[in-house]
A and B are shown apart, each in its own frame.
Chain A
């Protein structure tokens, strides 16, 4: 179509150039304007829920009912909504709890993933192939299938309501093993051989030679596990019953669940904003790494 138009419409032709070019350029520009408009409208749909959350969270007038009609600025701007949110929901404690759980889970899963990834890639011990296949096939099992026996296991061990119920299952991180193995495969074997000839022990080789080279994959695992722990609800819901030990999502969910959804908009929006803040700040600074890590986790699976 575009080609036809350029022949029909008589346009001034610049010397030495194809007669199609000006019209083609105009079409291209129109196309780009259209493209940017569509993408911007779509972005608005992505962003508006956040904006509305932020606006409502600062609106003391919205503490009981959603303001009508919706407005761009709070009717009664106030940070009292946040004070009330912190008074009613023990946000600081929940955030601290989530951080404690996340740090523990990250350390345990890094240890498990890097050590096993290194062993599978560089030590190549007898049975390494079998171990890898077993690890990869357990990745197919959905958590929802194993959650009931896992819950009963922690019940038997009397570890319900403790963070061991998070730290111990972090050992089971086959995907991390897979990522680490893939990454360490790219590092040269000669580093290990040379170090061993010099009399270094395997632990030293791992810790002093290979671990410092693993920074990118360590960062990926930290990002994925932090987001996973921070955003998870189902497992905390099963194992934590003491309100003092709630993670941030569980605390927020329990508050809204008990109050009933749609009650106290401004207060709940304030609490939700606080719960999102760490993740949004992290995203702001590390968005390239986060996007890459998550895309990686999708592609490799």
Chain B
């Protein structure tokens, strides 16, 4: 019936008609996902913003405007946690990308498929290991006394035992080393997939011009993979800014030794769930989000400048 009316009154009428059976069914199919997104993404992000303007020491909160933000921003511990997080984040992004790119290039130049697959799966193995297990393993490998495996090896070449996780000068570097062990394989796999996508004729053209392996690598492979490097830097930065589990297990809520392992998420966690100051914690989480956004935009913009050159 309605179909007849529509057919007669032309286009405008069809546009006005809201919901066909098809639309209703489609919407119904998407409902579980939409409910999930609304309740566990959109609502929480809005609620967090609302809470960050409230003082919520107890159950009831009252509006305090930007007070929470000014408290967090003037808290030296917050800045300390942010600088720790960024220090470890930048270090692990840079070292992780360099090492895994070299590794992927080496694996990719293996002439046997079996060899490539073998090394691929060996290097990827730590990636399926949980952060908890990794932290436990490394707390023994990096044991501060000479019994620790790494210190034992250092002892063999005459270097004294190092307090990997107990000495404030080393703790952050040790965390970076540990997370590199865990994350190396992931980056390597992505680089390998990307290396295989470089068109062969580029290399062939370079060979005709007399380029050797290293030069091909430097002038074809690396420029061609720039988007992949960029992707890694962005993802690595975002991931690095969310560091929590390993530092919590190794350094406790205080971020020991001497607060060097206190990261931003650890700061948020202890403000919210130990200090029970949800307002402050959500304000800190928004600040962290802003930092992540700024970093991402900066990375993308510096890359755009390179493109113009």
Contact = CB atoms under 8 A, between A and B. Distances in A.
Contacts of B145: 66
B277 to A, nearest CB: 10
B261 to A, nearest CB: 12
B287 to A, nearest CB: 10
A45 B25 contact: no
Interface string A15-36: 0000000000000000010011
B41 interface: yes
Nearest to A233: B245
B26 A272 contact: no
B36 A173 contact: yes
B189 interface: yes
B39 interface: yes
B130 A144 contact: no
Interface string A244-281: 00000100110011000110010011001001100110
A92 interface: no
* Residues of A in contact with B, size category: 35 or more
Contacts of A147: 44
How many B residues touch the partner, as a band? 35 or more
A46 B123 contact: yes
A13 interface: no
B285 A144 contact: yes
A200 interface: no
A116 B137 CA distance: 41
B286 to A, nearest CB: 7
B27 A171 contact: no
Interface string B127-148: 1111111001111110101111
B41 A53 contact: no
B181 interface: yes
Which of A53, A67, A113, A146 has its CB near the most chain B CB atoms (within 10 A)? A146
A172 B123 contact: no
B53 interface: no
A152 B279 CA distance: 12
A49 B137 contact: yes
Given A113-B33, A279-B129, A298 B141 contact: no
Contacts of A202: 25, 29
Given A141-B45, A256-B136, A112 B120 contact: no
Chain B contact residues: helix, strand, loop or mixed: helix
Contacts of B122: 43, 46-47
Given A52-B149, A146-B41, A249-B132, A291 B189 contact: yes
A128 B47 CA distance: 26
Contacts of A168: 36, 39-40
B123 A280 contact: no
B23 A276 contact: no
Contacts of B278: 148, 152
B180 to A, nearest CB: 10
Interface string A165-202: 00011111110010000000000000000000000001
A262 B36 contact: no
B249 A291 contact: no
B43 interface: yes
A142 B242 contact: yes
B289 A142 contact: yes
A153 interface: yes
A268 B132 CA distance: 12
Given A115-B33, A168-B36, 8 more contacts: A46-B123, A119-B26, A148-B48, A174-B33, A232-B130, A233-B131, A272-B133, A280-B128
3 residue pairs, one from A and one from B, having the closest CB atoms: A125-B26, A171-B36, A172-B36
Interface of B: 18-20, 22-27, 29-30, 32-37, 39-45, 47-48, 51, 103, 106-107, 109-111, 115, 117, 119-133, 136-141, 143, 145-149, 152, 181, 184-186, 189-190, 193, 212, 231, 235, 238, 242, 244-245, 249-250, 252, 265, 268-269, 272-273, 278, 281-282, 285-286, 288-289, 292
12 contacts: A36-B115, A38-B106, A39-B106, A43-B122, A112-B32, A123-B26, A151-B272, A172-B39, A174-B33, A233-B245, A276-B133, A294-B127
